[in-house]
Structure 1
Amino acid sequence: MIQSKPDSSVDIRPAAIRCSDGVVLGGHVFRTARPDPIGMAIVNAATGVLARYYRRYAGFLAAHGYDVVTYDYRGIGASRPARMRGCGYRWRDWGELDFAAALRFAQGEARGGPVVVVGHSIGGFLPGLAENAADIDRMLTVGAQYAWWLDYVAHRRLGLFAKWHLAMPVLTAAFGYFPGRRLGWLEDLPAGVAHEWSFRGPRFERSHPRRERRRALERMAAVRAPILAVAVADDEFGTAPAIRRALHYYRGAECTAVMLRPADYGRETIGHFSLFHDSHAAGFWRDSLRWLHDGANPWPDRVISG
């Protein structure tokens, strides 16, 4: 049940999350003031987005009874190496190593209750790559997809293809990493991450070496947590085909996809990013608690098939 009066006294402290390969990720733990937390939530960021973008949503969850972990993937923000060129980090590492470590860390910090994941964009797909993803109890994904360009919204597809699948690999080759910050195109990205995005095909497992593909698919299928996948009608990346393509790999999970419209929240636009802006605290954020707390779909009239 949703807590009627949120507690604003949330304790926030930095966290160092050690991965199995020795890489240490920077993050934060948000401790609810409740002595009996509802559970532990992990917030997974979108590609090229700092974890601090989600700090208000994390604080909202903590004020409503959750302990929360946020973190930056390797190569981003508080987890950025001293030298980006040649760091060797890949997109798949964010799931296989980084999320796996964040989940172990969260389990160690948990004071009871289920472990839930809120994943934005690639952050809703990466959990399935972790060997311990079967430990997740529930997932909420927002615009979750893995950037196959033919899933982009039709009227923007060619422009997005030119930006992310032509310009990005050229710039990455020139700089040794993708200089997104100086361009105003999200954060800088390690070359391996940028190239996986640029050259991703319709089947994500093809970005793995052939001998590792079956195992990647098995990990995705091993997830049993129910998933509520949120799409927004004016999201140029997280279209209905993109959401369905990502959910297809979670074969062992009960998946429900919903398509929200900006007008549902009195907006003209929402797009790919703004649901995590605090202007949505009284709307989408509060609705999301119904799923995270009780497993109840807050938008039963917005379910999309497929």
Structure 2
Amino acid sequence: MNLPTRPAPEAFREPAADGYPLGGFSWRHVRTDLARPAVIINAATSVRCRHYSRFADYLFAHGFDVITYDYRGIGESRSGSLRVFKASWSDWGALDFEAILQRVQREFPGQPIDVVGHSFGGCAAGLAASGAVIRRIVTVGAQFAYWRDYQASGRWRMFAKWHVAMPLVTALCGYFPGKRLGWLEDTPAGVVRDWSTPTPRYETRPSGRALAGLPFSRVSAQILAISITDDPFGTVPAIERLLGYFDGSERTHLRIAPEDIGEKQVGHFAFFRSEYQDRLWPIALAWLQDGELTADTLGISPNLRFNTHPRSSGR
């Protein structure tokens, strides 16, 4: 399917909750429709929001208003050197995503608000104080980069790269020079610290007990977590660990093998490439439209693996 030519998205600047200027793009239909959802796309760690532009075009062509943005220190939201720049995963969620949530409520008043989160972007969806306004969430490979959850076949190689080499280079440079090394975007030191910490970022110990006061439980959105079997970050334990935090939501985990869509490999980053707009994107679209998946909407292998978690009985 070739998407029709669409008007270029509008660039915007939005102050984060602490005043830091964030940059992003808005795909907005001319006519307001209170039934039309507005979708926020949360990027992966140190991936520019422009990576998701074709997917945003796709959602816009199917009737959604769409917002993409960069976290502080990345892409459109970078200003100057990162050597002494302060930012963390918590800042990206509690300050940056929170600001975008509030912007969408102002810009699209009365419309449903949905979120698509890639990798850390799925975690960010649970860190905003206003998370209760979210109607539906689709995550793709979303997890905390906890090394024990990495795919077993490459775990030690990944540990050496992301938990040894990356923090060492960061300590030498004052930030992680990812662009120079071909490892994603340049990344603030605080984010590297959060990524490389030896225990899950928001847990007191690996057993899974969450720190008190985090806003994940405020989210009551219907969640679809998509994972790919050859994603070395997005293993079943990794995806399920994050889903466990969203105990106020009904959560569905859909696990897809590359061969289910006629591919040999997909991995952690390829889902949002336009080559998958006819095979993978309709899955996210169907969830955002209806909050459910059927054999007809999936249109791929009937052997897909589902795991569904009800909303916590304590809510």
Q: Does 1:195 align with 2:198?
A: no
Confirm or deny: 8 A CA contact 1:11 1:31 kept in the other structure. Answer: no
Q: Write the mapping of 1:82-101 to structure 2, written as runs, cut at 5 A.
A: 82-101=80-99
- Residue 23 of structure 1 aligns with an amino acid whose one-letter code is Y
TM-score (normalised: structure 2) = 0.89
Distance 1:86 1:98 in 2: 19
Long gaps (5+) in structure 1:
none
Cα deviation code 1:47-78 (max 9, x no counterpart): 01000000000011011101100000001011
* Distance in 1 between residues matched to 2:284 and 2:56, nearest whole Å: 12
Q: Is the 8 A contact 1:21 1:97 kept in 2?
A: yes
| Correspondence for 1:166 | 164
Preserved CA contact (<8 Å) 1:9 1:33: no
1:32 to 1:262, Cα distance in 2 relative to 1, 3 A:
farther
Which sits farther off after the overlay, 148-157 or 29-38?
Answer: 29-38
Give the equivalent residue in structure 2 for 1:263. 259
Aligned to 2:29: 32
Aligned counterpart in structure 2 of residue 224 of structure 1, from 220, 244, 249 = 220
Further displaced range: 242-251 or 191-200: 191-200
Equivalent residue of 1:81, what SS?
coil
Partner of 2:50: 52
Deviates more, 1:48-57 or 1:110-119: 110-119
Aligned to 2:241: 245
**C-alpha spacing 1:5/1:65, structure 2 compared with 1 (3 Å):** farther
SS in 1 for 2:47: coil
CA distance in 2, matches of 1:203, 1:275: 25
Match for 1:122: what amino acid? F
**Matched residue, 1:303:** 306
CA offsets per residue over residues 188-221 of structure 1, 9 Å max, x none? 10000001101151352449xxxx94111xx111
Cα RMSD of the aligned pairs, angstroms, is 2.1
TM-score by length of 1: 0.92
Structure 2: unaligned runs, 5 residues or longer:
310-315
Which structure 2 residues correspond to residues 15-30 of structure 1 after superposition, within 5 A? 15-30=12-27
AA aligned opposite 2:78: R
Q: Which amino acid aligns with 2:293?
A: N
Aligned partners of 2:51, 2:99: CA distance in 1, in Å?
A: 21
Q: Of residues 129, 140, 162 in structure 2, which corresponds to 1:131?
A: 129
Alpha carbons 1:10, 1:31 under 8 Å: kept: no
Distance change in 2, residues 1:6/1:108 (3 Å): farther
Q: Distance in 2 between matches of 1:190 and 1:137?
A: 31
Pairs aligned (count):
297
Match of 1:43 in 2: 41
The percentage of counterpart residues that share the same residue type is 46
Q: Deviations over 1:19-60 (max 9, x none)?
A: 121101110001235653621000000001000000000011
Contact 2:202/2:211 (CA < 8 Å) preserved in 1? no
**Contact persistence 2:178–2:186 (CA under 8 A):** yes
The alpha-carbon deviation at position 84 of structure 1 amounts to: 0.5
* 1:10–1:62 Cα contact (<8 Å) kept: no
Alignment correspondent of 1:13: 10
Q: In structure 2, the residue corresponding to 1:234 is in which secondary structure?
A: coil
* Contact kept? 2:251, 2:308, Cα under 8 Å: no
Q: Give the drift of 1:286.
A: 1.9
Mapped to 2, the partners of 1:304 and 1:263 lie a distance apart of: 20
Q: Cα distance, 1:134 vs. partner? A: 0.7
1:87 Cα deviation from its structure 2 partner: 1.1
CA displacement 1:110-168 (0-9 Å, x = unmatched): 16531100000000111111110111010000000011000000000000000000001
Query: Secondary structure, in 3 states, of the residue corresponding to 2:265?
Result: coil
1:104 to 96, 102, 105: 102
| Kept after mapping to 1: 8 A contact 2:46/2:187 | yes
Equivalent AA in structure 1 for residue 306 of structure 2: V
Q: Which among 180, 183, 200 is matched to residue 182 of structure 1?
A: 180
SS at match of 2:184: coil
Q: Which of 113, 116, 119 is 1:115 aligned to?
A: 113
Is contact 2:286–2:292 with CA below 8 Å preserved after alignment?
Answer: yes
Distance 1:168 1:287, change over 3 A: same
- Distance in 1 (alpha carbons) for counterparts of 2:121 and 2:235: 16
Matched, 1:146 2:158: no
The residue type paired with residue 122 of structure 2 is G
Q: Which one of the candidate residues 78, 81, 88 is aligned to 2:79?
A: 81
